[in-house]
Chains A and B, each alone.
Chain A
Amino acid sequence: MRPLLEEVHLLEAYAEGTLPEEQQLDVAVRLLWDRDLQQKLAGQQLAYRALRLFGRRQLRAELEAIHVRLFG
């Protein structure tokens, strides 16, 4: 994967807390001074939130369609 995508991958694992302890600590330390990385992490977390909101709306629509099909 390209370095940029590797970084997306890394931040995802960091946010999930699934990195090996040493690497987890390493990212935490980098985040202390690296503003660019801080913004990327913040953006990524916002992206996850957007996906959750979007997914929930899609699930609601799927349930509504089921309702109409079965009981509408």
Chain B
Amino acid sequence: MEAALLTDRAQTLERIYAKTYPMVRHYVREHGGSDDDAKDLVQEALITYYEKVVFEQLTLTASVTTYLMGICKNLWRQELAKRARQTALTDTHADLAEDPTPDAEPPTASLMAFVEQLGETCKSILVSFYYFGQRLEQIATEHGYRSVRSATVQKFKCLERLRRAVSHLTIEQFKS
């Protein structure tokens, strides 16, 4: 399953989604939530699962739906607790629910803008490799490179461009 997830993401995700969403919806409806809540949970759980497969080499021994159901139930318990706390806070007129932590790190939006500015080929190669965990063989084929080696060189060229762009951001921050 994990291998198919990386090589054929679109179809594999759709298959998992089709099976999992109705189960989660059923559970959430019975526990005081809406269909939209169920959708948010399933998507969050799938992102967690995907990232664990790519970045932590997760291999499931149980079925993927069981695993995702477990994540969703946990998330839903946390969400209900959060909503209960918020209601309690509103009741006592305490409106400082969020503590404003100063953010020294570069903002998410500007970091993503640098990726956006790379142009289609670089963007696609880098995101496929570094986020979606695709093998360079597949990336080479899909982007029409003659060899894995030329795809590798292109990948590092693109990464270097992105590195230069974001470095500019860190230097600008130090100036101000």
Q: Contact residues of A with B, CB < 8 Å?
A: 1, 4-5, 8-9, 12, 39-40, 42-44, 46-60, 62-64, 66-67, 69-71
Once the chains are docked, how many angstroms separate the CA of A50 from the CA of B166? Answer: 9
B156→A51 contact, CB < 8 A: no
Give the shortest distance, in Å, between A34 (CB) and chain B (any CB). 15
Q: What residues on A are CB-neighbors of B42 within 8 Å?
A: 63
Count chain B CB atoms within 10 A of each CB in A12, A54, A59, A71 and give the residue with the most: A54
Once the chains are docked, how many angstroms separate the CA of A66 from the CA of B126? Answer: 23
Give the shortest distance, in Å, between B104 (CB) and chain A (any CB). 13
Once the chains are docked, how many angstroms separate the CA of A59 from the CA of B126? Answer: 14
Closest B residue to A43 by beta carbon equals B167
Once the chains are docked, how many angstroms separate the CA of A1 from the CA of B157? Answer: 10
Chain A interface secondary structure, helix, strand, loop or mixed? helix
B17→A51 contact, CB < 8 A: no
Give the shortest distance, in Å, between A70 (CB) and chain B (any CB). 6
Q: How many interface residues does B have (CB within 8 Å)?
A: 39
Once the chains are docked, how many angstroms separate the CA of A62 from the CA of B65? Answer: 19
A46→B169 contact, CB < 8 A: yes
Q: What residues on A are CB-neighbors of B10 within 8 Å?
A: 62
Once the chains are docked, how many angstroms separate the CA of A55 from the CA of B103? Answer: 22
Q: Could you give 7 example pairs across A and B, Cβ below 8 Å? A: A43-B167, A46-B111, A51-B131, A53-B115, A56-B51, A58-B127, A70-B18
Whether B145 sits at the interface, judged by CB under 8 Å, is no
Closest B residue to A50 by beta carbon equals B111
B18→A67 contact, CB < 8 A: no
Closest B residue to A4 by beta carbon equals B160
8 cross-chain pairs, A with B, having the tightest CB-CB distances, nearest first: A55-B131, A43-B167, A50-B111, A54-B115, A51-B130, A47-B162, A46-B166, A5-B156
B17→A67 contact, CB < 8 A: yes
Closest A residue to B13 by beta carbon equals A66
Give the shortest distance, in Å, between A72 (CB) and chain B (any CB). 10
